[in-house]
Amino acid sequence: MKALLSKAVGGPDTLVLDELPSPEAKPGHAVISVKACGVNYPDVLIIEDKYQFKPARPFAPGGEVSGVVKALGEGVSHLKVGQRVLGNTGWGGMAEEMVLEASRLIPIPDAMPFDTAAAFIMTYGTSYYGLKDRGHLKPGETLLVLGAAGGVGLAAVELGKAMGARVIAAASSQEKVDLCLKHGADAGVVYPQGPFDKDSAKALASQFKEACGEHGADVIYDGVGGDYAEAALRSMAWEGRFLVIGFPAGIPRIPLKGCDIVGVFWGAAVTKDPKGHQQNVKELFELYTAGKIKPYVSEHFPLAQAGEAIKHLASRKAMGKVVVTME
């Protein structure tokens, strides 16, 4: 089988397409024939050893997949060979086949396309855990989403609307804001390219305040960081919740405000609270079935060009989800 491997620390250009033996199903595990793999920001970090997890090399990036069960290890009873599934893998997904714990595989509806399934669990799982369990978002509250046209950002926009919030989508271009409006955002903010001097930061804070209204944002979902976070925080409502998702624009400076700053580490939450994760997954599939959420896959790349897919995501030009397909 083919796999795109990280053999040395570096960017997407260091990845190598190689042939590997097909994996075998160990007890409690399953082998799946991968059909599609979602590309996420952790893929940018993990190949440069900048992520929370540092797998031994060589390894394939790719933290979420969809495919078909090829083989089952001893003790696996909730899956069957030939079943369509998605999985949260951490890494290893940019390969034609992979083995992982069977408990990390979730059956998907027959009508759910593989590219949609591969773009589902990481973004919606992160955003739902953040908004529901960490942000305690309530109907009628105002949600400000930074980086709103990216994978997790667009998921947060859709979920915020499904949860009854007023959603303000902030992104770096009108095209991106327009996409968010199509996916349910009530209003949008086009922010300029940072970093910002004092006057520019003040102007951006004024944009956020105007969009959020006099009350301010009850929850801010920040997938950007840097100077954007500081400006957004100045639009925060009293005792609001500022959710730290990621910081591709850098570590932010935090002004003194009467709010909670909350880290969102979905990967750890899945392990530490499996029952809560299972309930969230159940609710996410109910929302998908009801047509309230649906991944927007903007671009597809073949496995041989998966490095370009990661590079494209790192450029912050991607909208919605980028997916690598094996066929």
Give residue 263's identity as a one-letter amino acid code. G
Question: Is the bond leading into 195 cis (omega within 30 degrees of zero)?
Answer: yes
Per-residue pLDDT for 297 more than 90?
A: yes
Structure tokens at 64: 């979420």
Q: Residue 321 to residues 41, 130, 135: CA-CA distances in angstroms? A: 11, 19, 23
Question: How confident is the model over 27-38, as pLDDT tens digits?
Answer: 999 999 999 999
Average pLDDT of span 307-312? 95
Q: How far is 216 from 193, CA to CA, in rounded Å?
A: 23
Q: Which residues, including other chains, have CB under 8 Å from residue 72's CB and lie 6 or more apart?
A: 25, 30, 31, 79, 80, 81, 102
Q: Is 318 helix (H, G, I), strand (E, B) or coil?
A: coil
pLDDT tens string 83-103:
999 998 989 999 999 999 999
Whether pLDDT at 252 is above 70: no
Query: What pLDDT does 80 receive?
Result: 95
Write the pLDDT tens digit of every residue in 36-70.
999 998 899 999 998 888 999 999 999 999 999 99
The SS3 assignment for 219 reads strand
Cis peptide before 55 (omega within 30 of 0): no
Confidence of residue 267 (pLDDT cuts 50, 70, 90): confident
What per-residue string of b and e applies to 200-230 under the rule 16 or more CB within 10 Å gives b? ebeebbebbbebbeeebbbbbbbbbbbbbbb
Nearby residues of 215 by Cβ (< 8 Å), 6 or more positions away: 142, 237
- The amino acid present at 145, given as its one-letter code, is V
Which among 76, 81, 69 has a CA at the least distance from the CA of 29? 76
For residues 198 and 201, give the distance between their C-alpha atoms in angstroms, rounded to a whole number: 5
pLDDT digits (tens, 9 = 90+) for 209-251: 999 998 999 999 998 877 888 888 888 999 999 999 876 655 6
What pLDDT shows up at residue 41? 86
Instruction: Report DSSP letters for 59-107, one per residue.
Output: B---SEEEEEEEEE-TT--S--TT-EEEEE-SS--SBSEEEEEGGGEEE
177-201 residue pLDDT tens: 999 999 999 999 999 887 778 888 8
